[in-house]
Structure formats: C-alpha cells, structure tokens
Amino acid sequence: MTTTPLPAGPPDDKGAFVREMFARIAPRYDVTNRVLTAGMDERWRRRAIRLLAPPHGGRILDLCCGTGDIAFHLLRTDPSLQVTGVDFCAPMLEAARRRAAAQAPMAVTFVEGDVSALPFEDRSFDGATMGFSMRNVVDIDRTLQEIRRVLRPGARVVNLDVSKARNRAWKACFDLYFYHVVPLVGGLVGGSKDAYAYLPQSLTHHPSAEQLVERFTAAGFRDAGYVPLMGGAIAIHYGIAP
C-alpha cells in the first residue's frame, strides 16, 4: 500500500500538512464521509451528542468543526444552544458557513483557530465536542488542557473518533477496510487518494482507547471513560471539567 508519509521535522510541519490536506478534500468532505461510513457517521455523531447531554441554552464548543456536521447536529437536537465551531482550515470553515447560510437562521459561529491554543476565555463554554480529529492534532495533551481551560466546572467534553478494536480478528478486518479501501474510495469520491491514505495512517500512532482515557485524566478531566462503537473500531471518549 502507498501511504503519504508525515513530514519529518518539527511538529509544526504536521499542523501545516494536516491543514493543507483538509483544504484539498474540503469540497467533497461531507459526501465522502457518508460513502465511507455508509451513513453511519451521522448516527455516531448523534450518539456523541446524547452523551454530552448539553444543557438547554448552553454555549457549546465544537472543536475541529470542519464543515460543521456536529455543530448542526447540536442545533437540530436543541435549537436553544449557542454553538461555536473552531477549526484551523479556512476552506472547511467556508463550507461550514455556506451550510449555515443555506439553513434557517441559527445560533452558530465558525471561528478560525488552532485547538491547541484556543482563542477563547477561561471557563466560557458549557460543553465541548470533537469529531474525527484528535488523531490529527499535533499535541493531544496540550489540546486536552486547552479544552479543560475553556470549560466551566462540571461541563462535559465528548470526543468521537476512530479507535483500535481490542478483538484481533475484528481489528484485522477493520484495518483491511481502513488502510486499503478508504484510500481507494477516498481517492475516487473525495478526489485525493493521498489525503485518504494519510487518514488511516494517523491512527497508527494514536493512543489506544484505554490510553486516551488516561490522557483525559492526566489533563484534569474527572470521570473520564469511553463508549466503544462498532466493536471498538469507533470510540466516544468523555470527561468532566473539574
């Protein structure tokens, strides 16, 4: 299999590489997701939002919001929420803003920024979501600390992402799909085989589900844990800000 290697050198290179890659796939990102997951990604997002249980009227931060899928789900679930999406890829944000403009007026704002240095005040949100992105951030620990910083005490964070199934036979099946089929289909539907070859690679060095729980705890979140979906190939991690 051909994969696009991450650039060698300082971590900043990874950020630039990831931003450029998402800029390339932004125009067809949504449709490619639906095809690659057979529409199941939408169900997983709704599950993550149920776990978040956002307070009525609360301010919710959607980290690495991309084209806004989770942000729009949040508002469909409860139109009283005030949702802010943050992402560092301008073309993804433009797609999110176009989608917002095409819908009924809603309380959503999309802000350009890096999740490892969030442009928000301490304790300014009542909940946070992150979807399919933790694998892409340069510094997971710093990002988790930033999330904790901007959450009010008692607010929850949920993080939906691909994970590593514990059952070896199932993991082998999923890896076959993720490392071989995703780049092919991503290339055909999403228009960039290279980008969709990188995405599975981002899982290789990602912590296991249990290790990620430890990182949430180390960042100061209490009652951290995760819900496995699809036999653990997908996981929703959660924690509560102290």
Q: Which residues bind ligand SAM (CB under 6 A)?
A: 15, 18-19, 22, 64-66, 69-70, 87-89, 92, 114-116, 131-133, 136-137
140-to-67, 95, 145, 212 alpha-carbon distances in Å: 22, 26, 9, 9
Phi and psi angles of residue 119, each rounded to the nearest 5 degrees, phi first: -85, 50
Nearer to ligand SAM, 41 or 222 (CB): 41
Beta carbon of residue 66, minimum distance to ligand SAM (angstroms, whole number): 2
Choose between 93 and 155: whose C-beta lies nearer to ligand SAM.
Answer: 93
Residue closer to ligand SAM by CB (options 96, 155) is 96
Give the whole-angstrom CA distance, residue 88 versus residue 138: 12
We find the least distance from the C-beta atom of residue 114 to ligand SAM, in angstroms, to be: 4
Min separation Cβ 168 and ligand SAM, Å:
26
Least CB distance to ligand SAM at residue 91 (A): 9
User: Among residues 133 and 163, whose Cβ is nearest to ligand SAM?
Assistant: 133
CB of 87 to ligand SAM, least distance (A): 4
Nearest residue to the partner ligand SAM, using Cβ: 66
Strands 151-162, 125-131: pairing is parallel
Nearer CB in complex with ligand SAM: 132/221 = 132
Supply φ then ψ for residue 158, to 5 degrees: -125, 140
> CB–CB of 203/164 below 8 Å?
yes
Residue (117 or 172) nearer to ligand SAM, CB? 117
175, HSE (Cβ side, Cα atoms, 13 Å): 13
- 18: tokens are 């990831």
- Least Cβ distance, residue 12 to ligand SAM (angstroms): 11
Give exposure, 117-126, as e/b (b: 16+ Cβ within 10 Å). Answer: ebebeeeebb
Strands across the sheet with 59-63, in order? Answer: 108-112, 82-87, 59-63, 125-131, 151-162, 234-240, 222-229
Q: In angstroms, what is the C-alpha Rg of the chain?
A: 17
Instruction: Between 52 and 92, name the residue whose CB sits nearer to ligand SAM.
Output: 92
